Structure 1
Amino acid sequence: MTWLRKPWVGPLAFVVVAFVAFSLPPYLTGDRLQSRVQSDWGPHYPLLVVHVVCASIAIITCVVQIWPWFRGRFPMWHRRIGRVYVLAGVLPSGLAGLVIGWMTPFGPVAMVSNVLLAVLWLTFTLLAWRAARQRRFGDHRKWMIRSFVLTISIITNRIWGAIAFVLLADSVPEAELPNTIAGIATWTGWTIPLLASQWWLERKPRRRAPAERREALTQVG
């Protein structure tokens, strides 16, 4: 089966589902005290709920969207789920993320990273949407890869945060530790994967171009 040639699909789907299953439930209760990010700013919690819920939609639908077997076998559903990814996922989550990123309680370093991440996430996704509508499927694929990388950056953010905690817990004053870890994790969580994806896009062998053309023709049909 052709989908078996993409061994990353299964592990990625497992990680995403496990992450959503762990992260989402506290924000479905309506209880501010269960939020993993606390803020004294009144609108912060409802915007955070919108951000988390819609980001969960984005991250789940995005895994389906980048699955080559699904794209090739069900092009109509690929387009429909793509609309869900943009309109019910990235767009509301990114707009809410702009505001809560600006009002983050973790200091100016994390604030700049969060706002820039939200702007790029929205921009890459809308560029991918426009390219698809204009039947520029090669450009659509590249912008979607960049959008996907930023979508899953919340997972890599947690990994870098854990690493930063292990390395800095004994050397940074306790009062400064949360902001320090947040500043490191928020920046490394999305910049490193984005740079890696850009390198991959530029280094991709030319021999795969015919396969991309066949996929584009399938989607047009």
Structure 2
Amino acid sequence: MSEYVQVPSPSGKSAAWSPAANWLIPVALLLLSAVPVVAGSLRLAEMVGGLPVLPDGDRVRSAPVALVAHIVSVTVFSVLGAFQFAPRLRRRRRGWHRIAGRLVVLCGLLTALTGLWLTLFLPRGAADGDALVAIRVVVSVAMAACVCLGFVSVRRRDFAAHRSWMIRGYAIGMGAGTQFFTQMAWIVAVGPVTTVGTTSTLTAGWLINIVVAEWIILRGAAGPGRQSCGGADGDGAAGVTGSAAGTPAATSAVQPAVARRC
């Protein structure tokens, strides 16, 4: 597959991702996902006879099928999803991006729906209040909606909307990673986590991820002349070189070609 050439923006600054972003983005997301992945692995080990390491084991093991489905789906969603945001991988391996993307969508929906089921039907934890239950329901529904909208958008070939919705869905799904740090901050600053502390720290984790996701979406949309192609980061609109690059005539001429290649 041929490479697209970057069209310079009117300000003269390149809108393309830096080479470091090709590995920094997935590495950062994998580090963030390490908390739910490790916790899920420890919980699965407990369920097959391993030593209990995590608290609340008896309560969560009362629904083994839903729990295992949740752990497996969130692990695949977080790890495979991290590579979906690597710019070069999206551009050069679009077939892989599409196939992996379908699995990410499936696992994202399963993560949200099993999380909703566990919230509604498991016995509550000692620090789980009504407010936290309501917030978890809203978060689960919002994550499922974002993933569905991301899938619908790509089927309509609206790649900019697809990118935005999948970023939102992934950010919500990775709430557990950020919540580890918000809970540690509470313990250091205040002490043991109470009902109020649990609700506050978990909500803060989701809100931080959502705010960062919206900032990333707005930052991507602000790039002049950016147009998503096949889930890529906007380089698809940059296929013109020479003195005509960046002019209105060149832009109108390249749009049909870009649409055909996407």
TM-score range, shorter-chain basis? Answer: 0.7 to 0.9
1:207 match: 224
Report if the CA contact (8 A) 2:30-2:82 is conserved: no
**Cα shift readout 1:54-99 (whole Å, capped 9, x = no counterpart):** 1011001110111111100100110100111111x11222111002
Residue number among 71, 78, 81 corresponding to 1:52 in the alignment:
71
Change (3 A) 1:42 1:56: closer
Q: Secondary structure at the match of 2:70?
A: helix
Change (3 A) 1:85 1:157: same
2:245 match: none
Report if the CA contact (8 A) 1:39-1:45 is conserved: no
Please give the root-mean-square deviation of Cα atoms over the aligned residues, in Å. Answer: 2.9
**1:10-159 to 2 correspondences below 5 Å:** 11-16=27-32, 18-19=34-35, 22-29=38-45, 30-31=47-48, 33-38=52-57, 40=59, 43-87=62-106, 89-102=107-120, 103=122, 104-105=124-125, 106-159=128-181
Identity %: 19
Runs of 4+ in structure 1 deviating by more than 6 angstroms, as ranges, are: none
Question: Residue type of the partner of 1:126?
Answer: C
> How many corresponding residue pairs?
213
Question: Displacement of 1:182 after TM fit?
Answer: 1.7
Residue number among 207, 210, 214 corresponding to 1:194 in the alignment:
210
Question: Displacement of 1:149 after TM fit?
Answer: 1.0
Question: Residue type of the partner of 1:4?
Answer: P
Tell me, which stretches of 5 or more residues in structure 2 are unaligned? 1-16, 228-232, 238-254
Report if the CA contact (8 A) 1:51-1:97 is conserved: yes
Larger relative helix fraction = 1
Change (3 A) 1:72 1:203: closer
Q: What is the TM-score with the length of structure 1 in the denominator?
A: 0.82
Tell me, which stretches of 5 or more residues in structure 1 are unaligned? none
1:181 match: 197
**Cα shift readout 1:75-129 (whole Å, capped 9, x = no counterpart):** 0110100111111x11222111002123442222221221111111110000000
Q: What is the TM-score with the length of structure 2 in the denominator?
A: 0.70
